[in-house]
Amino acid sequence: MKVPLDDIAEPGTNARAVLEQIEPGRLPNHVAIIMDGNGRWATARKLPRVEGHRAGIHAVRQTIETAARLGIDVLTLYAFSTENWKRPRHEVLTLMGLLKEYINRELKTFLKHDLRFRPIGRIDQLDESVQRELARAVDATASCRGSLIQIALNYSGRQELTDAMRSAVREAAAGTLKPDEVDEAWIENHLTTHGQPDPDLMIRTSGEQRISNFLLWQLAYSEIYFAPVLWPDFNQEEFLKALLAFQRRERRFGGLPQTGSVFTPPKDKHGST
Ligand code: FPP
Protein backbone atom coordinates (compact mmCIF):
# COMPACT_ATOMS: atom_id res chain seq x y z
CA MET A 1 0.00 0.00 0.00
CA LYS A 2 1.27 3.41 -0.88
CA VAL A 3 0.09 5.31 2.21
CA PRO A 4 -0.46 4.63 5.95
CA LEU A 5 -3.65 2.71 6.88
CA ASP A 6 -5.09 5.79 8.61
CA ASP A 7 -5.02 7.65 5.29
CA ILE A 8 -7.05 4.90 3.63
CA ALA A 9 -9.74 4.12 6.22
CA GLU A 10 -10.50 5.69 9.58
CA PRO A 11 -9.81 3.58 12.67
CA GLY A 12 -12.95 2.05 14.19
CA THR A 13 -14.89 1.85 10.90
CA ASN A 14 -16.03 -1.36 9.17
CA ALA A 15 -13.82 -0.44 6.22
CA ARG A 16 -10.78 -0.28 8.52
CA ALA A 17 -11.59 -3.71 9.97
CA VAL A 18 -11.57 -5.18 6.45
CA LEU A 19 -8.47 -3.19 5.45
CA GLU A 20 -6.51 -4.65 8.39
CA GLN A 21 -7.11 -8.17 7.02
CA ILE A 22 -5.72 -7.30 3.58
CA GLU A 23 -2.13 -8.27 2.80
CA PRO A 24 -0.49 -5.23 1.16
CA GLY A 25 1.90 -7.35 -0.91
CA ARG A 26 -0.85 -9.42 -2.55
CA LEU A 27 -3.12 -6.79 -4.03
CA PRO A 28 -4.34 -7.21 -7.62
CA ASN A 29 -2.37 -5.21 -10.20
CA HIS A 30 -5.44 -4.56 -12.31
CA VAL A 31 -9.05 -4.35 -11.10
CA ALA A 32 -11.88 -4.04 -13.61
CA ILE A 33 -15.40 -3.09 -12.53
CA ILE A 34 -18.85 -3.36 -14.12
CA MET A 35 -20.72 -0.59 -12.30
CA ASP A 36 -24.25 -2.00 -12.36
CA GLY A 37 -27.50 -1.14 -10.59
CA ASN A 38 -27.80 2.64 -10.86
CA GLY A 39 -31.28 2.39 -12.40
CA ARG A 40 -32.56 0.03 -9.72
CA TRP A 41 -31.09 2.21 -6.99
CA ALA A 42 -33.07 5.18 -8.31
CA THR A 43 -36.29 3.24 -8.96
CA ALA A 44 -36.23 1.89 -5.38
CA ARG A 45 -36.27 5.53 -4.23
CA LYS A 46 -38.99 6.52 -6.72
CA LEU A 47 -36.46 8.74 -8.50
CA PRO A 48 -35.78 8.98 -12.26
CA ARG A 49 -33.12 6.47 -13.41
CA VAL A 50 -30.63 9.24 -14.16
CA GLU A 51 -30.52 10.08 -10.45
CA GLY A 52 -28.97 6.63 -9.97
CA HIS A 53 -26.18 7.56 -12.38
CA ARG A 54 -25.68 10.84 -10.56
CA ALA A 55 -25.44 9.00 -7.22
CA GLY A 56 -23.05 6.53 -8.86
CA ILE A 57 -20.46 9.25 -9.33
CA HIS A 58 -19.82 9.30 -5.60
CA ALA A 59 -18.95 5.58 -5.74
CA VAL A 60 -16.68 6.23 -8.76
CA ARG A 61 -14.81 8.92 -6.84
CA GLN A 62 -14.42 6.80 -3.70
CA THR A 63 -13.31 3.70 -5.62
CA ILE A 64 -10.70 5.62 -7.61
CA GLU A 65 -9.35 7.25 -4.48
CA THR A 66 -9.09 3.95 -2.59
CA ALA A 67 -7.43 2.20 -5.55
CA ALA A 68 -4.92 5.03 -5.83
CA ARG A 69 -4.07 5.00 -2.13
CA LEU A 70 -3.64 1.23 -2.16
CA GLY A 71 -1.30 1.57 -5.13
CA ILE A 72 -3.35 -0.58 -7.52
CA ASP A 73 -1.67 -0.12 -10.92
CA VAL A 74 -4.72 -0.19 -13.19
CA LEU A 75 -8.42 0.39 -12.49
CA THR A 76 -10.81 -0.04 -15.42
CA LEU A 77 -14.41 1.14 -15.01
CA TYR A 78 -17.13 0.15 -17.49
CA ALA A 79 -19.13 3.36 -17.88
CA PHE A 80 -20.91 2.94 -21.23
CA SER A 81 -21.17 -0.08 -23.53
CA THR A 82 -21.91 -0.03 -27.25
CA GLU A 83 -25.26 -1.60 -26.28
CA ASN A 84 -26.12 1.32 -23.96
CA TRP A 85 -27.09 3.47 -26.99
CA LYS A 86 -30.37 1.50 -26.92
CA ARG A 87 -31.38 3.42 -23.78
CA PRO A 88 -33.74 6.43 -23.91
CA ARG A 89 -32.10 9.50 -25.46
CA HIS A 90 -32.50 11.49 -22.25
CA GLU A 91 -30.60 8.84 -20.26
CA VAL A 92 -27.75 8.66 -22.81
CA LEU A 93 -27.44 12.46 -22.94
CA THR A 94 -27.46 12.68 -19.14
CA LEU A 95 -24.75 10.02 -18.86
CA MET A 96 -22.54 11.89 -21.35
CA GLY A 97 -23.19 15.16 -19.51
CA LEU A 98 -22.30 13.56 -16.17
CA LEU A 99 -19.10 12.23 -17.65
CA LYS A 100 -18.03 15.67 -18.90
CA GLU A 101 -18.97 17.23 -15.56
CA TYR A 102 -17.05 14.53 -13.71
CA ILE A 103 -13.85 15.01 -15.72
CA ASN A 104 -14.08 18.75 -15.44
CA ARG A 105 -14.44 18.55 -11.66
CA GLU A 106 -12.06 15.71 -10.93
CA LEU A 107 -9.10 16.62 -13.10
CA LYS A 108 -7.50 18.42 -10.14
CA THR A 109 -7.88 15.26 -8.00
CA PHE A 110 -6.31 13.17 -10.76
CA LEU A 111 -3.31 15.47 -10.83
CA LYS A 112 -3.10 15.63 -7.03
CA HIS A 113 -2.94 11.81 -6.81
CA ASP A 114 -0.69 11.53 -9.89
CA LEU A 115 -3.34 9.44 -11.73
CA ARG A 116 -3.19 8.87 -15.46
CA PHE A 117 -6.55 9.00 -17.22
CA ARG A 118 -7.32 6.96 -20.31
CA PRO A 119 -10.59 6.20 -22.09
CA ILE A 120 -10.98 2.94 -24.05
CA GLY A 121 -13.66 2.10 -26.62
CA ARG A 122 -14.89 3.74 -29.79
CA ILE A 123 -14.18 7.24 -28.57
CA ASP A 124 -14.33 8.75 -32.09
CA GLN A 125 -18.07 7.96 -32.22
CA LEU A 126 -18.85 10.07 -29.14
CA ASP A 127 -20.09 13.64 -29.29
CA GLU A 128 -17.27 16.07 -30.06
CA SER A 129 -17.73 17.92 -26.78
CA VAL A 130 -17.20 14.63 -24.90
CA GLN A 131 -14.14 13.81 -27.04
CA ARG A 132 -12.68 17.23 -26.27
CA GLU A 133 -13.11 16.77 -22.53
CA LEU A 134 -11.59 13.28 -22.66
CA ALA A 135 -8.62 14.50 -24.69
CA ARG A 136 -8.06 17.33 -22.21
CA ALA A 137 -7.89 14.85 -19.31
CA VAL A 138 -5.60 12.49 -21.27
CA ASP A 139 -3.21 15.32 -22.13
CA ALA A 140 -3.21 16.85 -18.65
CA THR A 141 -2.42 13.52 -16.95
CA ALA A 142 -0.07 12.09 -19.61
CA SER A 143 3.03 12.37 -17.43
CA CYS A 144 1.39 11.12 -14.21
CA ARG A 145 3.06 8.00 -12.83
CA GLY A 146 0.53 6.74 -10.25
CA SER A 147 -2.42 4.43 -10.99
CA LEU A 148 -3.87 4.27 -14.48
CA ILE A 149 -7.59 5.04 -14.41
CA GLN A 150 -9.20 3.62 -17.48
CA ILE A 151 -12.81 4.37 -18.38
CA ALA A 152 -14.51 2.08 -20.90
CA LEU A 153 -16.83 4.23 -23.01
CA ASN A 154 -18.76 3.08 -26.06
CA TYR A 155 -16.81 -0.10 -25.43
CA SER A 156 -17.47 -3.65 -26.63
CA GLY A 157 -15.16 -6.61 -26.10
CA ARG A 158 -16.38 -8.27 -29.30
CA GLN A 159 -15.77 -5.05 -31.22
CA GLU A 160 -12.25 -4.84 -29.83
CA LEU A 161 -11.50 -8.39 -31.00
CA THR A 162 -13.14 -7.70 -34.36
CA ASP A 163 -10.88 -4.66 -34.78
CA ALA A 164 -7.81 -6.80 -34.03
CA MET A 165 -8.91 -9.38 -36.62
CA ARG A 166 -9.45 -6.64 -39.19
CA SER A 167 -5.90 -5.39 -38.58
CA ALA A 168 -4.59 -8.92 -39.12
CA VAL A 169 -6.48 -9.29 -42.40
CA ARG A 170 -5.32 -5.84 -43.57
CA GLU A 171 -1.67 -6.59 -42.72
CA ALA A 172 -1.89 -10.04 -44.34
CA ALA A 173 -3.37 -8.53 -47.51
CA ALA A 174 -0.51 -6.02 -47.57
CA GLY A 175 1.93 -8.91 -47.28
CA THR A 176 3.36 -7.72 -43.93
CA LEU A 177 1.88 -10.49 -41.74
CA LYS A 178 2.09 -14.26 -42.08
CA PRO A 179 -0.52 -16.56 -40.45
CA ASP A 180 2.11 -18.04 -38.08
CA GLU A 181 2.90 -14.55 -36.76
CA VAL A 182 -0.61 -14.23 -35.31
CA ASP A 183 -0.22 -15.58 -31.79
CA GLU A 184 -1.54 -14.49 -28.38
CA ALA A 185 1.15 -11.82 -28.09
CA TRP A 186 0.22 -10.38 -31.50
CA ILE A 187 -3.46 -10.24 -30.54
CA GLU A 188 -2.69 -8.64 -27.16
CA ASN A 189 -0.62 -5.99 -28.93
CA HIS A 190 -3.64 -5.10 -31.03
CA LEU A 191 -6.06 -4.61 -28.13
CA THR A 192 -6.79 -1.26 -26.51
CA THR A 193 -5.21 -2.54 -23.29
CA HIS A 194 -1.87 -3.49 -24.89
CA GLY A 195 1.06 -3.31 -22.52
CA GLN A 196 -1.13 -3.63 -19.43
CA PRO A 197 -1.50 -6.62 -17.12
CA ASP A 198 -4.80 -8.48 -17.57
CA PRO A 199 -7.33 -7.80 -14.79
CA ASP A 200 -6.59 -10.02 -11.79
CA LEU A 201 -10.01 -9.20 -10.38
CA MET A 202 -13.26 -8.26 -12.07
CA ILE A 203 -16.03 -6.93 -9.84
CA ARG A 204 -19.66 -6.58 -10.90
CA THR A 205 -22.10 -4.88 -8.57
CA SER A 206 -25.88 -5.35 -8.23
CA GLY A 207 -25.89 -9.13 -7.92
CA GLU A 208 -26.20 -9.70 -11.69
CA GLN A 209 -23.76 -12.40 -12.79
CA ARG A 210 -22.73 -11.65 -16.37
CA ILE A 211 -19.67 -10.32 -18.21
CA SER A 212 -21.75 -8.18 -20.61
CA ASN A 213 -19.19 -7.87 -23.41
CA PHE A 214 -16.52 -6.40 -21.10
CA LEU A 215 -12.81 -7.13 -21.76
CA LEU A 216 -13.62 -10.57 -23.23
CA TRP A 217 -10.01 -11.48 -24.05
CA GLN A 218 -8.44 -9.90 -21.00
CA LEU A 219 -10.74 -11.56 -18.44
CA ALA A 220 -9.69 -15.11 -19.43
CA TYR A 221 -8.11 -15.88 -16.03
CA SER A 222 -9.52 -13.09 -13.87
CA GLU A 223 -11.12 -13.85 -10.55
CA ILE A 224 -14.73 -12.68 -10.69
CA TYR A 225 -16.49 -11.19 -7.67
CA PHE A 226 -20.17 -10.33 -7.63
CA ALA A 227 -20.83 -7.62 -5.06
CA PRO A 228 -24.32 -7.86 -3.56
CA VAL A 229 -24.90 -4.07 -3.59
CA LEU A 230 -26.10 -1.63 -6.27
CA TRP A 231 -23.35 0.60 -7.69
CA PRO A 232 -24.28 3.81 -5.79
CA ASP A 233 -23.98 1.78 -2.56
CA PHE A 234 -20.55 0.39 -3.47
CA ASN A 235 -18.57 2.15 -0.79
CA GLN A 236 -15.02 1.73 0.44
CA GLU A 237 -15.96 -1.18 2.71
CA GLU A 238 -17.51 -3.07 -0.24
CA PHE A 239 -14.43 -2.46 -2.39
CA LEU A 240 -12.11 -3.67 0.36
CA LYS A 241 -14.32 -6.75 0.88
CA ALA A 242 -13.89 -7.59 -2.80
CA LEU A 243 -10.09 -7.25 -2.49
CA LEU A 244 -10.09 -9.48 0.59
CA ALA A 245 -12.22 -12.10 -1.18
CA PHE A 246 -9.70 -11.98 -4.05
CA GLN A 247 -6.82 -12.68 -1.65
CA ARG A 248 -8.68 -15.71 -0.29
CA ARG A 249 -9.05 -17.27 -3.74
CA GLU A 250 -6.54 -19.79 -5.03
CA ARG A 251 -5.44 -18.84 -8.53
CA ARG A 252 -4.37 -21.84 -10.56
CA PHE A 253 -4.34 -20.62 -14.18
CA GLY A 254 -5.31 -24.14 -15.28
CA GLY A 255 -2.60 -25.89 -13.23
CA LEU A 256 -2.62 -27.31 -9.73
CA PRO A 257 -1.35 -25.55 -6.61
CA GLN A 258 2.27 -26.10 -5.52
CA THR A 259 3.09 -28.95 -7.88
CA GLY A 260 6.20 -29.06 -10.00
CA SER A 261 5.35 -29.12 -13.67
CA VAL A 262 5.81 -32.52 -15.23
CA PHE A 263 5.23 -31.81 -18.89
CA THR A 264 6.38 -28.98 -21.07
CA PRO A 265 3.16 -27.82 -22.74
CA PRO A 266 3.12 -28.69 -26.44
CA LYS A 267 3.57 -25.67 -28.68
CA ASP A 268 0.79 -25.15 -31.16
CA LYS A 269 1.85 -24.95 -34.77
CA HIS A 270 1.80 -21.15 -34.54
CA GLY A 271 4.30 -21.14 -31.71
CA SER A 272 2.10 -20.17 -28.75
CA THR A 273 1.09 -22.57 -25.96
C1 FPP B 1 -25.27 0.53 -15.08
O2 FPP B 1 -26.40 0.68 -14.26
C3 FPP B 1 -24.52 1.77 -15.13
C4 FPP B 1 -24.23 2.47 -16.27
C5 FPP B 1 -24.69 2.03 -17.62
C6 FPP B 1 -23.50 3.74 -16.24
C7 FPP B 1 -22.45 3.89 -15.21
C8 FPP B 1 -22.19 5.34 -15.02
C9 FPP B 1 -21.85 5.96 -13.86
C10 FPP B 1 -21.57 5.25 -12.62
C11 FPP B 1 -21.75 7.45 -13.79
C12 FPP B 1 -20.82 8.13 -14.74
C13 FPP B 1 -19.50 7.46 -14.87
C14 FPP B 1 -18.29 8.07 -14.71
C15 FPP B 1 -17.05 7.30 -14.96
C16 FPP B 1 -18.15 9.45 -14.28
P17 FPP B 1 -27.84 0.47 -14.92
O18 FPP B 1 -28.34 1.78 -15.36
O19 FPP B 1 -27.77 -0.57 -16.00
O20 FPP B 1 -28.65 -0.06 -13.69
P21 FPP B 1 -29.89 -1.08 -13.73
O22 FPP B 1 -29.34 -2.41 -14.16
O23 FPP B 1 -30.35 -1.07 -12.31
O24 FPP B 1 -30.90 -0.53 -14.68
Tell me the pLDDT tens digit for each residue of 159-190.
999 999 999 999 999 999 999 999 999 999 99
pLDDT of residue 254: 77
Phi, psi of 74, rounded to the nearest 5 degrees = -130, 135
Per residue in 204-250, pLDDT (tens digit) is 999 999 999 999 999 999 999 999 999 999 999 999 999 999 999 98
List own/partner pairs for 215-220 with CB under 8 A and 24 or more apart.
215/32, 215/76, 215/152, 215/157, 216/157, 216/158, 216/160, 216/161, 217/157, 217/160, 217/161, 217/187, 217/188, 217/191, 218/32, 218/191, 218/193, 219/32
Q: What is the pLDDT of residues 240-250, one digit of tens each?
A: 999 999 999 98
Say which of 14, 29, 73, 84 is annotated catalytic. 84
36 catalytic residue (yes or no): yes
Q: Whose CA is nearest to atom 14 of ligand 1?
A: 99
How far, in Å, from the CA of 230 to the mean position of ligand 1? Answer: 10
Mutate to test the pocket of ligand 1, among 33, 34, 38 (most ligand atoms within 8 A of CB): 38
For ligand 1, atom 8, name the residue with the nearest CA.
79
pLDDT digit string, tens, across residues 88-145:
999 999 999 999 999 999 999 999 999 999 999 999 999 999 999 999 999 999 999 9
> From ligand 1's centre to the CA of 28, what distance in Å?
24
pLDDT digits over 49-88, tens only? 999 999 999 999 999 999 999 999 999 999 999 999 999 9
Q: Name the CATH superfamily for 26-156+199-247.
A: Decaprenyl diphosphate synthase-like (3.40.1180.10)
Query: Which residue ranges make up each domain of the chain?
Result: 26-156+199-247
For ligand 1, which residues put their CB under 6 angstroms from it? 35-40, 53, 56-57, 60, 77, 79, 84, 95, 98-99, 102, 151, 231
Cα 6 → chain centroid: 26
Residue nearest to atom 10 of ligand 1 (CA): 56
